[in-house]
Each structure stands twice: as C-alpha cells, then as structure tokens.
Amino acid sequence: MRKNIKKMVQKSDNSLRAVTFFLLVLLSSSACSQQHPAKTNKADTLDQKWDQTIPGSFSGQTQATFDSTRVNRFLRIYPAFKPYTQAIQIFYRHRHYAYAWFEHGRLIEQASNLVNRMLNLKLEGLNKHAPYERQLDSLMFAGNTLETTTELELMLTAQYFVFAKLAWTGQDEAFSRAADWNLPRKKINYEQYLDTLTGRPATDLSNSGPVYRQYELLRQYLAKYQLLATQNWPIIRLSANLQPGARSYLVHEIKIRLWQLEDFYGDTTSLLYDASLKKAIARFQERHGLSADGLLNKATLTELNIPIKQRVDQLIVNMERSRWLPVKLETDYLAVNIPEFKLHVYHGDSLLWSCNAVVGKTMNRTTVFYGELKQIVFCPYWNVPPGILRNEVLPAIKRQPDYLATHHMEVTGYNDGLPQIRQKPGPDNPLGLIKFLFPNSYNIYLHDTPSKSLFNENQRAFSHGCIRISEPARLAAFLLKDRPDWSSDKINNYMHAGIERSINLRKATPVFIVYFTAFVDRSGRLNFRKDIYKLDTLLLQALLIAGRE
C-alpha cells in the first residue's frame, strides 16, 4: 500500500511546489571580549518585527461541511495529534467546518503534495517519520464515504500542522539557544497559512512559504547528496604533485569526482590535466572558500575527500538553522556569516554588496546573535577589554615600562584594582579609523583595522571576537546614504581627523551575526565552509538525540 501512495503522489510532482516551496530572503550564504551575557528580554521587543502572519483566504468551497464534534472524536482516536488540538480547532472554526482538502467531492492536488512531503521527511533533513503513516496511506485509498472523507480531511489537516512544526519551525527556542543561536525566533500563524494553501487564492504559491529562502535551496541539494551517499566515494590519493598539462589516471578520478559534484562538465575519460579541469577545480575551490587558482593542492584534495555523509550532515544542520530565521525583511540589513568570513549588505531580498571580514578566534568566538546598528564612531578610542588587559597588556607593561607611551595608550581610571586603559585614535589603533556600534551584551561590534593583510587569508578567524571589515568607508556611506550632507569626502575627512566623533543614525539597521557552513549563493551554487567553532557538531548531536525522542 505504501508503494501505491508513493506512485500516486509522484503524479503530482510538478505541482509539489504549490504547497510549500520557500524562496523568500536573507543571506546569500552570507570583538573584543567574550562574556556570557545576562538574560535579557531583547527577543521579546523584536517579536512584532519578526512575526510573519501570512493572510488567509476563504476563497475555497464553503458548502460542504462536517459536524464539529468530529474534531474531538478524531483527536481521541489519534492522540499523537493532541499537541495541535488548538490549531486544528481554530482552523475549522474559522472555516465554519467546511472541508479544506476537498472540492466538488474530490481531493485537491495540495493533498497529495502534503502526503508526499510527510512520507519523505528524510528529504526535509529530518530524522523522523510522520505519525500514523499506515493510517494516512489507507485513508488515501479508502472508499469515498462520508465517514472516511471526514477522517481523511482531519488527518490531512493534522499532518499539515505536524509538517509545519517539523519542517518550517524546527526545534524549539530552548533547543536553538543551547546550540549557541542567540537570535530571536520567527513567529508564524500556520493556521492562516494553511487556509491560504487550501483556499487556492489567485496568488501563485509556488515560490512562497513561511521559511527562510535558504531552506528550500539546501533541501534541493540534500536530495542530490543523499543519492551521492549511496554511491562509491573512494579516497583520492596523490603519489606525486599534479600540475596542469600532466597525464595521469588520477586525473580521470578527479574529473569523475568533480563531475559528481557538478563542477566538471567535460570529458571524464581524458587523462589530461587540461584547461577544463583547471576551471572545474577553481570552481570547486571557490565554493569551498579556497584560493581559486585551479591547482590541485593539499587543501583542495582534503575538501575533495570529505565523506559525502559529512556533507549530508552539514546540509541537515544548516537547514535546521534556516527554520529559525525570519521569513522576510523589507528593509536594509547586514548579515555576517561567521564561517564564510563575509559581511553581506542587503535591501529586502536584494544582495547589494559583500566584503571580507575577520571574526573571532576559536578561543575568542564571535557570538551568533542579532543587533541593531545605531551609531558610527570616527577615529575611535580603543578601550582595552579586561581579558586582553590581564592576559596581554599588563604582562607587556611589566616587561616594557614605556609600553603605554610606545603604543599611544593612557590610563583613564581604576576598577576593582585594575587600571582602565584606552588607546588613542590613530593609524595603529586596533579599531582602525571607524567603528559601527549595535548595542549588545556581548561587547561585539564592526570596525576597521590597520591589519589589512589579514583580509587576503582564506581562513580569517583572528580577532578577539569583534568583526573587522575590509570596506568600512563603503559601509559608512551605505548607512549614511539618506543624509546628503555626508559625502564620501566628508566621511574620509572624519576618518582621518584624529578626533573621536560619533554620529547617531536616523534609523537603526538590523544586523544578523549568523553561522552557516552550507549555503547556496546567488549563482545557485552550493557552498561549504569549515565548522570553525564546532557548532555543527554540537547541533548535529542534539538533532540526532531529538530524532530518537
């Protein structure tokens, strides 16, 4: 019977996107001291901004109805759906108990789409099975009696709310906080969205859904990588250095591997390290955050030999993170993707530009969180954080009595027996010529740096936690674009004046500090990055435990 239902729902594959394909918004990908913050209610203040209630439509049929008592009877028979009791009851009260999944006595196509998704939760990156799979299967082929029709109607609605929880919402907020995700979670009115789906409004639903756009993009690649995981994936070993122009059977192996990963499109039987292979290697390198020189170096070979199951796990954990983000923002905002070492500047769904960033070292992690950028400081003083003061500055002063004068530092006071030290504005100031403040309890902000050479490194985890950006003047111009008096020349003059001056922005700009080790870029290419803080490992273990519950 299970095979029969799969065959039936596969016929509606072309309309599968009518239910839930989610291409909406956030990231193409894509400090100075670290302290665990006290609990605040900042997330509560953002709830209104993050709520994404999708308007319902009652344009579906309203004539065929069922007895309201059938809802409670159904929930007694299928107790696993009891957590969704309120959602189911509200949905049908609003519809006056009209059938949602039937029209003119026949199932609408969204029903088979939903069943297909529920019977294939593995393709959603979920280690779970739909509740009552056998009963769902049987009801889809049961006779068209009033009894079975009503039971199937309620079964589909209940399964929808399960799907919404698993695929669109993910694990709860306590779970995401334990996974070091300190951004407020989105809120969705799934009852109204279900009515939109089943009401079949005039708007096209194929490219909308209440989930961050990366979820569906990663989901499409997950199916491909799950298939690759069933194939042979031998380790490629090089006994000698291979250069362009060389001939070797290993070239054939590498071409096959890159063909499997959709980087190589030429003749895989050729043993020649030709221009097409060099181009394919460069493409692969670019997707993995390596220097795209097209040469088969050690770092590239290491990435080529990553077990495909590990890539599947990366996709799964990043799909889970995608479930937690807001669906869509219509304003300007910034996104820093820590493993990508990039700052991305957006307006709505449009990526305006990106630049390289330096993030915190493993021992001084940049925190994953949300803030609102409100102030620009030109020629900033650098107030030495307590950790750096104890571990670096004070020992240096003992070794070198004139350390403060040499480094243009001064003592401004004392706190708990420790001197409060700051470095004066200047070209050697660690914050460079400008910093961007978004108040937070982690003491993290964006800033310039005198160490420009670090932006040329592939792996850029060098800071004490704050985020250094390679194009600070450009960011300042973007943030001040609504103020005609702030020309690029004026910004440059303020950056080099040697006097600290602060400018409050007229409108705060949202800043998302996120952690995605797998993402699809604006060219539609799947990218992977190293799990520099081991947050993937932490999240994957938690998801495996949750999947067994």
Provide the 10 A C-beta neighbour count for residue 143. Answer: 7
Token pair for 49: 């901004």
SS3 sequence of 228-285: HCCCCCCCCCCCCCCCCCCECHHHHHHHHHHHHCCCCCCCCCCCECCHHHHHHHHHHH
Report the helix count and the strand count for the chain, using DSSP H and E: 21, 18
CA–CA distance, 518 with 314 (Å, rounded to integer): 6
> Residue 29: beta bridge partners?
none
CB of 292 closer than 8 Å to CB of 282: yes
By the 10 Å C-beta count (0-12 exposed, 13-18 middle, 19+ buried), 506 is classed as exposed
| Cβ atoms of residues 460 and 342 within 8 Å | no
Rounded CA-CA distance 444/160 in Å is 40
CB atoms within 10 A of CB 208: 19
Those residues whose C-beta lies under 8 Å from the C-beta of residue 197, and which sit 6 or more positions away, are 18, 19, 20, 110, 160, 205
355 carries an active-site annotation: no
Task: Work out whether the CA dihedral 167, 173, 179, 182 comes out positive or negative.
Answer: positive
- Of 317, 56, 343, the C-alpha closest to 203 is 56
- Alpha carbon of residue 492 to chain centroid: 34
Residue in 530, 527, 509 with CA at minimum distance from that of residue 518: 527
Residue 252 annotated as catalytic: no
In contact, 218 and 519? CB cutoff 8 Å: yes
Q: Which of 344, 407, 447, 464 is catalytic?
A: 447
- Determine the 3-state secondary structure of 476 from DSSP: helix
* Sequence-separated (6 or more) residues with CB below 8 Å from residue 11: 112
Q: Which residues are catalytic?
A: 447, 466
